[in-house]
Structure 1
C-alpha cells in the first residue's frame, strides 16, 4: 500500500501540468534560512554580535524622505560596520504567488538590480553616517561584525534633515580639560553640550557623568560598564580563591572612584547602552567637576559622558589623564656614628610624617644599636625603622630608655612620630610649649655584639641610714654582669627648694665638673650578687643632697639611675 502511494506521487511530479517540476511546489513551502531583522525608525535597537559572524539589519525609507542618518554605538570592543543599498530596476510584483511566503529582502534579491556600498567604519566610538536617500525602490543593508569577542551594539535610524535627537550632541571642542591638579584632587572642565539645557525651570533629561579609573580612557559608557563588570568578576574570583584576603580585594576596587559605591553591588550584567544608572559622578548641567579622594602620586584617566535619561543613550567626550602630586616628604637628616641627637617633636595630630633620620653602620657586619629616651614624663614616641621601603620594626617608646638592635641592612631609615598624651585634652589650645616632646637619640655601630646590651635589674639607688654621718653617706646600686664604668654625681639642694630630682635626659658631660664625685668599674657574673657600693664624703652637716649614678657605656646612651635625695646628719 505504501509503495503504491510513493509511485503515484512520483508520476504526478513528472507528468503534471505546466512546467511540471518540483519547483512548482517550492514557492509554497520554502522558508528563509536567516530571519530578517528590520531596523525601525526613531528607536534604539540593541543588537548582539557573536564573534566572527556578520549580522544584517534591513530598512527602507519613506517616499518623501530625502536624507537619512544611521548611528551605531559599539560597546567594549571595536567593530566593523558598513551601510549598503540595493536598488531594483523594476519594482517587484505586489501580489506574486510566492511573495506571501518570502521575506522582503528575498524579493529584492530575486529581482534585477545592483548593490552599492556607501559607507564603512571600524572602531569603538559612536559613529554616524548622514547622506542623501536613494530611489524609493531601494533596500538598505546595515552589516555589523565583531572580530574580537561577543559584544553588544546599538543602532538608530533617522529619516529627514536635522539632528535625530536620540543621541546627545557634542560641542565643537569635545575634549576634557584639566584646570588644576593637587595631591588628592583634580579639577576638570569641558565645553557645554547644546543638548543639556533647562526648559521652563524643569530639570533637564540630559546630564554630565564623570568616570575616573587607573587603566585607560573609554569611548562609550557601555564600554565603561563592561570594564567595571569584568573588574568586579575578577574581584569575586579572588574572593572565592582566598576568603581571608578581604582587605586586598577591596583595595583593588579603589582603582575605580564612584560617588555611589552601593550601586556597584546591585548592577546588572547588561552591556547594552540602555541607561539605567551610570554609577559614576553625575553633575547635572555643571561642566566643571573636582574629583576628590584620590591617592597621591597616581595616574588617573578621566572620562565625561553626556547621558540622555529618556532615550537611554549617551556620547563620550575625548577623555584626558593626569597624575596627582606626590606627598611632601620630610627632610631626612643623617645620623652620624655615636652622635647624641636631641629631637623636638610636635604632638599635633596633623604631624603625620614626623622626623626622619638615616643611619649607615660602619663595618662589613652592618650592625648597629639605636638608643632612644624621651625627656617628658607623659610623652610617647612611635619609632619605625625601615630599610629599602621594608619596615623592620615599629614600637612605642615611653619614659623608659629603649634599645633597638639594627642588623642585616647597609642603611636604616628611622622615623619618629610623637603620640599625644592622654591628658592632652586638658592642655590649652594656645599653650604650644606643652605639645612639644623632647627626645634623645643615639646610633652606634656594634662590632662585638649580636644582641642589645642588658639593663640593670633595677635603677633604684639605696642609701644606708646607719652609715649616714655628718659629712658622708653610703650608696648602693645594682650593676650588670658586663664590665662597665659607673660615675656618681652629687648636687646640693638649697634650703626651701622643692626640686630634688635630676632630668633624666641630662648627659654626664653636660653637668659641671665639680658635681662628679667618683667613677669606678664594676662587673659581676652572678646577677643576684651584682651590687656595688660607694662612700661619698666631704659633705656638709645637715644639708640636702641629690645623688645620681650613670652607667657609662661605649655603645648607646648612658643609663641614668633614679635620683636619690639624702640629708646628712646635723649632729655627730
Structure 2
C-alpha cells in the first residue's frame, strides 16, 4: 500500500511539473527533493543531489526537466557524455509566464499557449561540463540534449545547494606534456592532484593511448573499451503504454560495441605521474588521456587530452624514387590496391606545374607536401592538369591502384613547357570526314601548338563493328596489328587551325576506321589517340 501511495504522489507531482502549477504562486515551493531517482527514466525529472544516467538515441533530441520554487538560489548543473559528444541547451520558463500563458490559452481554447522559454546556456562537446547560475529564478528548467555521433549514455546532476563534489580534484595546470618523442615511442608527464596526500593512497592515475579518438571523460573510455549495455527495462508505474514505450525504445537502441583487441592501451599507473609508451609506429598520431581516479568511490576525471605524433623514419626510404623534371614515368600495378610513392623537387617557386597522366584502368593520384595537399583526383584514360603557384619544396607523389589490380600508368611532371615530353591533345579530339569517294576520304582534325608527329592509320572493319562504333581506347599501348599506316608527318599548328589530309588506297563499298595518333617523334613509343572516325566508301567510282 505505501508503494502505491508513493506512485500516486509522484504522478500528481509529475502533473505539477508538466503544467508548472497553473494555480501556484512564488511563495509555494517546488523542490528538487520532491522527485525520486527511481522514476527519472520515465518522468525525465532530475532528482536533487544525485548523479543519474540517461540513455540517448543517436541524433534524437530529448527533453529533461527540473524545477526551482525560489528566486535568487544558485543553480549547479553537470553533464557528462560517454560514448558520443552531445549538444545541449538549457532553457528556463518562469511561473508567472506559465500562468499568463495558461490564462491566454483558457480564453481562446483553439489556440496554443505562447512559448516564453529563455535560453540560459548552450554547449557542444564530449567533455565533462559544469554550468553555474549564481542567481537562479523560480520556474521550470528544461535541458534539450542530443547525441551527435552514436547512441550514448550521459550522466546528469543538478542542485540548488552545491556543485558535484564526488569527483577527484584536478591540478591547476591540468595539461599532459611530452617529455620525449622518438620514432617508436614517447614519454609524457603531468602534475599530481591536490587531493593526493602522503597519509593515504585513495588517488591513482590511469592512462589510455589509442589512434582513433580522445576520451575526455572516464565513462567515454569505458564505453569504447568495454562497449555499452542496452538501456534496461524500466517500468516503475507498470502502465501498459509505459511498457510498450520502453520496448520500442529498447528496439531502437544501438549501443556501441567494444574496441578490438589492442586498439586501446589502458593502464593503472598507481601514484606515478610519468609514463613511457613503447611500440608505437613511426610518423603516426596517438591520442593520450590521463585520468585522476578515486579508489574509494571509483570516480575519475580527465586531464586535458594530448595528441602525440611520433617522429618519421630517418631519411628517404630506398623505395621512394625521385622524379626528374619532364621525365616520363611508367608503372604497372600488379597487385590489388598496390601503391607507388615518388618524390618531385621544385627548387624555386613555379608559376605552373604541368601534369600529364595516361592510365589504363583507374588510379588515385595525389600530390602533397608536409603542409598541404595540392592535388588529389581519381584518374582514368588520358588527362592533363595544370597546378599553379607552387612554392619551393619537395612534393610527394602517391598513386594507388584499383581493387582489381593490373592498372598501368604513364605520367610526366614539369615546371617548364619546353620539357613536357608527353604528346599533347587539344580539348577538341574529334576527327571529321570532309569528302568521301570510292577510293579515298578527306579528314580534318585540330592540331597542337607544340611540334609533334601525327600518324594516320586505316583499318578495314566489318559491317557489325561499323554499326557498334566502339569508343577510342586511350589505354591501348600498341597499334592494332590489322591497321595500316597511311603516313606520319611532323609539324606545329601555331594557331590550332583544322588540319586536312587525304587517306588514299581504299576500296569501294567498304567500312573503314581511321585513327590519328600523336607522338613526340616518330621513334617514340608513347602516343595518345584522337577519337576514331568510322566511314564507308562510295559504292561505285
TM beyond 0.5: no
TM-score (norm 1): 0.38
TM-score (norm 2): 0.40
Which structure's residues are more often strand, by fraction?
A: 2
